[in-house]
């Protein structure tokens, strides 16, 4: 069987995504019950981080440990990756020794190239273009709080960034309507919007985009790698702060999500994470369960029952 990768949400079919999310909820319950389940004894996950991380590193490393395997943290500073060893060579070597690899980097093309030369599954743990692992946790969290997201309306507020692009994929894969409210010049990739226009629309007015919405989501105004643009972006994004008053314009059962880290007083008001409609802490925890389900799915041929 050919190796399966998870570079975007489009790498799994709609039914496979549903299966992974249902399994994530099962794994959450097992973890909370204190069950020991170790299908990955003797297996290794390599974790390549070219950008910072709290949630992604802890969830992958802990998840692999809970499954009985081990995780290796690899940074460019401490490996030859940072000294120019070609991706093709690194991919061949790393994948000859480990069972699965996750990569957080800048250019999306890097994870594509790594996958092309890897003999084991590659997981995209965030690139400049997509953050599909976060969407697994987000979809799991919505499902656990409100049931199926199919046919619902979701509002993305702010930068048309990597998270927004993965929400566009999710709209198609999970069957919801996505409204993106972004300032002019910061809209999501127009090719993606055109390709998925059956489920995505872009508008400038946050109020219009939020009306009757079932889920409101935002993210930082300047992503990793854009730190020098922080001040200019802050001026443009100022009208796009998500507040409890904005949630009041949405459906009565609206939820609020943010992949975190959040900047209180910028993309969200100081009080938003304390609003009962915010589910960001469940969303963060679900990174653990969703990625365990994903690794179990990608390594299903290697699991000994
Ligand atoms: N949401 C997310 O990916 O968080 P980290 O950058 O902390 O991994
Ligand atoms: N858009 C953010 C997400 C961080 C998890 C970034 O890329 O920095």
DSSP-assigned states of every residue in 131-162: -HHHHHHHHHHHHHHHS--TT-EEEEES---H
In this prediction, residue 180 has a pLDDT band, given cuts at 50, 70 and 90, of very high
Using CA atoms, how far residue 44 sits from 26, 88, 124, 140, in Å, is 23, 20, 17, 25
Contact 86, 31 (CB under 8 A): no
The mean pLDDT value for 58-84 works out to 96
Q: How confident is the model at residue 303, as a pLDDT?
A: 79
| Length, in residues, of the chain | 305
Mark whether 219 is an active-site residue.
Answer: yes
Q: Per CATH, the architecture of 134-284 is what?
A: 3-Layer(aba) Sandwich (3.40)
Note the pTM of the prediction, 2 decimals.
0.98
The mean pLDDT value for 248-257 works out to 98
Mean pLDDT for all residues in the chain: 97
Does 3.20.20.10 match the CATH number of domain 9-131+286-302?
no
Atom 6, ligand 2: residue with shortest CA distance? 223
- How far apart are the CA of 158 and the centre of ligand 2, in A? 12
- How far apart are the CA of 305 and the centre of ligand 1, in A? 32
Q: What is the pLDDT of residues 234-247, one digit of tens each?
A: 999 999 999 999 99
**Residue for token pair 């489009």:** 10
Domain extents in the chain: 9-131+286-302, 134-284
In this prediction, residue 304 has a pLDDT band, given cuts at 50, 70 and 90, of low
pLDDT at 122 over 70: yes
Whether 134-284 and 9-131+286-302 are alike in CATH topology: the answer is yes
- How far apart are the CA of 133 and the centre of ligand 1, in A? 10
Q: How confident is the model at residue 128, as a pLDDT?
A: 98
Q: How confident is the model at residue 157, as a pLDDT?
A: 98
Q: How confident is the model at residue 302, as a pLDDT?
A: 84
DSSP 264: B
The mean pLDDT value for 272-290 works out to 98
In this prediction, residue 2 has a pLDDT band, given cuts at 50, 70 and 90, of confident
C-beta of 166 in contact with ligand 2 (< 6 A): no
Q: How confident is the model at residue 144, as a pLDDT?
A: 98
CA distance 204 to 166: 20
CA distance 209 to 177: 11
pLDDT at 305 over 60: no
DSSP 54: S
The CA-based angle 171-301-65, given to 5 degrees, is 80
**8-22, 218-232, 291-305: segment of lowest average pLDDT:** 291-305
What ranges in 154-279 are assigned the alpha helix state H? 162-174, 190-195, 206-210, 230-237, 244-248
What ligand 2 atom has the least distance to the C-alpha of 226? Answer: 8
């Amino acid at each position: 069987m050919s190796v399966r990768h998870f570079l975007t949400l489009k790498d799994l079919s709609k039914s496979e995504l549903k299966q992974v999310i249902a399994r994530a909820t099962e794994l959450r319950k097992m973890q909370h019950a204190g069950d020991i389940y170790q299908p990955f004894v003797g297996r290794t996950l390599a974790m390549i981080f070219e950008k910072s991380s709290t949630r992604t590193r802890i969830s992958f490393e802990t998840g692999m440990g809970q499954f009985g395997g081990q995780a290796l943290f690899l940074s460019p500073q401490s490996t030859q990756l940072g000294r120019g060893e070609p991706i093709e060579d690194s991919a061949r070597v790393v994948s000859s020794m480990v069972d699965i690899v996750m990569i957080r980097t800048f250019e999306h093309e890097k994870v594509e190239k790594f996958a092309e030369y890897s003999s084991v599954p590659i997981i995209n743990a965030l690139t400049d273009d997509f953050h599909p692992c976060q969407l697994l946790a987000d979809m799991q969290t919505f499902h656990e709080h409100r049931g199926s997201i199919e046919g619902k309306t979701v509002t993305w507020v702010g930068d048309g960034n990597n998270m927004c692009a993965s929400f566009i994929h999710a709209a198609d894969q999970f069957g919801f309507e996505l409204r993106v409210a972004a300032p002019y010049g910061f809209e999501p990739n127009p090719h993606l919007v055109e390709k998925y226009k059956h489920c995505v629309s872009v508008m400038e007015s946050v109020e219009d985009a939020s009306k009757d919405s079932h889920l409101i989501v935002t993210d930082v105004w300047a992503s990793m790698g854009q730190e020098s643009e922080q001040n200019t972006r802050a001026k443009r994004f100022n009208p796009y702060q998500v507040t409890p008053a904005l949630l009041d314009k949405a459906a009565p059962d609206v939820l609020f999500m943010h992949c975190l880290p959040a900047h209180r007083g910028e993309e969200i008001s100081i009080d938003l994470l304390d609003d009962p409609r915010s589910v960001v802490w469940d969303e963060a925890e679900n990174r653990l369960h969703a990625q365990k389900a994903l690794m179990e799915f990608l390594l299903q041929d290697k699991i000994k029952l």
